[in-house]
Amino acid sequence: MHALSDELPELSADFWLKLKQKCNELQIISLHIIPTGYAIGGKKSFDEKFGTDIPADLEYLSRNREVRDNPSLILEGAKSVISISLSYRNLDSTDNPHCGCISAYARGRDYHKVLKQRLERLGEWLRDYFPDIRYRAITDSAPFYEQHFAAASSFMVKGRNNLIRHRDAGSMIFLGELLVDMNLNGDGRIITLNLNPESSAADLLTFTGINPVTGEAEEAGNVRSSALACPDKCHRCLDACPTGALNPQKFIVSKCISYLTIEYGGYIPDDLWAKIGNRIYGCDTCQLTCPFNRKVSVAADREFADRFDKDFLKLTELLSLTPEKFRESFAGTPILRIGFCKMMRNCVIAAANTGSKIYLPYLIILRNSVMKKLNLLRSQIALSAESPDGGSQDLSADSAENSRTLREIREYEMVIQHITRAVKLLSGSF
């Protein structure tokens, strides 16, 4: 047992070896430790990235910038960040236009839950070592520069596809962090633990300095500077991106299919329909084309094994889902979060993109059931707008329930709009 102190505790080779064993047991495929001060400068890079052009659905990202820049507002006294990753590698993407394509990251158990559990278990293990240590697990759950901290590892780099990739695992990895109120970095250098079970004890740790001017991890002697960087001439991901969201100047979030199919809640502009193809949830194109994802030596985490039966992903099956069936079928996966309406919108576009009339009856049936639900919701609102004396009352002063109903009405109307265009396209009436 070790007492907690502000000084670097005596972290023996035994500590690091045991930590490596623990990570191997928890299927953690990378771990490095960064001083929390590494966050400073984030506001500038955030503005450079989004400028004032943050899509409304991602507006939440621009809040709490002071927390992003100062992790001790997430955990009081935070001194080090333990950045980890888990692999979800699955290159089996369907090109069959009659089946919906779900992004690899969403085909297994919800990564938020898995990461959180692993981080908690890592935290408990650390507490056995340092009984006074306090920690906080982060998995998309707090305003935090996840990619910036991840790229500080000797084994990681941010590619032109905008994603962090790991030397042995490629880019199909999830990032998570454990903030701790103990200085595990000692002299302030970044410490990368080699988790490859085959590696020797002499190869266990890499130390990287932080450039005092740029605030970035030093490149000298860094593994990533040579073998891992994007080759100068490679632009495969940029060329393959269906919508042009990835381009050398700036990542255009509002054109990214991942954003459009998952985050965006409105009508998808007509000119983007064909580009979406059969992608009904997320997009992997800029990862599938990356050569680094071909030569991967790390196995995917068991929790992220594909749960979806190929037959279930037929568009005919998906278009026949009811809201209840949707919830049942996607329970436990991140897909549940987008809700029935966004999923139906995405499937309607995929059906329109096949150009096949076989989907017309499915679309008509879906339109009828969506209309029925819409009428029900509209009458609920009309009823609540009537005052007890028979007159009408002001809805703005209304309950949370009314605003939920109004939101649902907008969502169902949005599905109808998409079905109307899909029917026109497939019946050739455009």
Active site residue ranges: 140
CB 254 within 8 A of CB 55: yes
Q: Which of 237, 298, 352, 415 binds ligand SF4 (CB under 6 A)?
A: 237
Which residues, including other chains, have CB under 8 Å from residue 120's CB and lie 6 or more apart? Answer: 137
Site for ligand B12, rule CB under 6 A: 39, 41-42, 45-46, 49, 58, 61, 103, 105, 140, 144-148, 161-164, 171, 173-175, 215, 251, 253, 256, 258-259, 262-263, 282-284, 286
Closest alpha carbon to 267 in 418, 371, 374: 418
Query: Of the two residues 46 and 292, which places its CB atom closer to ligand SF4 in the complex?
Result: 292
* Closest approach of ligand B12 to the CB of residue 73, in Å: 14
Q: Torsion angle of alpha carbons 358, 364, 366, 371, nearest 10°?
A: 170
Choose the one of ligand B12, ligand SF4, none that binds residue 243, judging by a C-beta under 5 to 8 angstroms depending on kind: ligand SF4
CB 246 within 8 A of CB 238: yes
The alpha carbon of 424 is separated from its chain's Cα centroid by a whole number of angstroms, namely 34
Q: Which of 194, 206, 278, 285 binds ligand SF4 (CB under 6 A)?
A: 285
Query: Of the two residues 227 and 400, which places its CB atom closer to ligand B12 in the complex?
Result: 227
Q: Does 258 bind ligand SF4 (CB under 6 A)?
A: yes
Q: Which of 283, 300, 335, 344 binds ligand SF4 (CB under 6 A)?
A: 283
**Token pair of 181 as six digits:** 């109120």
* Closest approach of ligand B12 to the CB of residue 317, in Å: 22
Choose the one of ligand SF4, ligand B12, none that binds residue 215, judging by a C-beta under 5 to 8 angstroms depending on kind: ligand B12
Transcribe 220-274 into DSSP letters.
TT-HIIIIISPPTT--HHHHH-TTS-S-SS---GGG-HHIIIII--SPPPHHHHH
The H-or-E segment that residue 115 falls in is helix 111-129
Query: Of the two residues 175 and 190, which places its CB atom closer to ligand B12 in the complex?
Result: 175
* Closest approach of ligand B12 to the CB of residue 419, in Å: 24
The H-or-E segment that residue 365 falls in is helix 360-385
* Closest approach of ligand B12 to the CB of residue 312, in Å: 20
Distances (CA, A) of 171 to 239, 260, 302: 18, 21, 17
- Chain residues that interact with ligand SF4, rule: CB under 6 A: 159-161, 230, 234-237, 241-243, 245-246, 256-258, 283, 285-286, 289-292
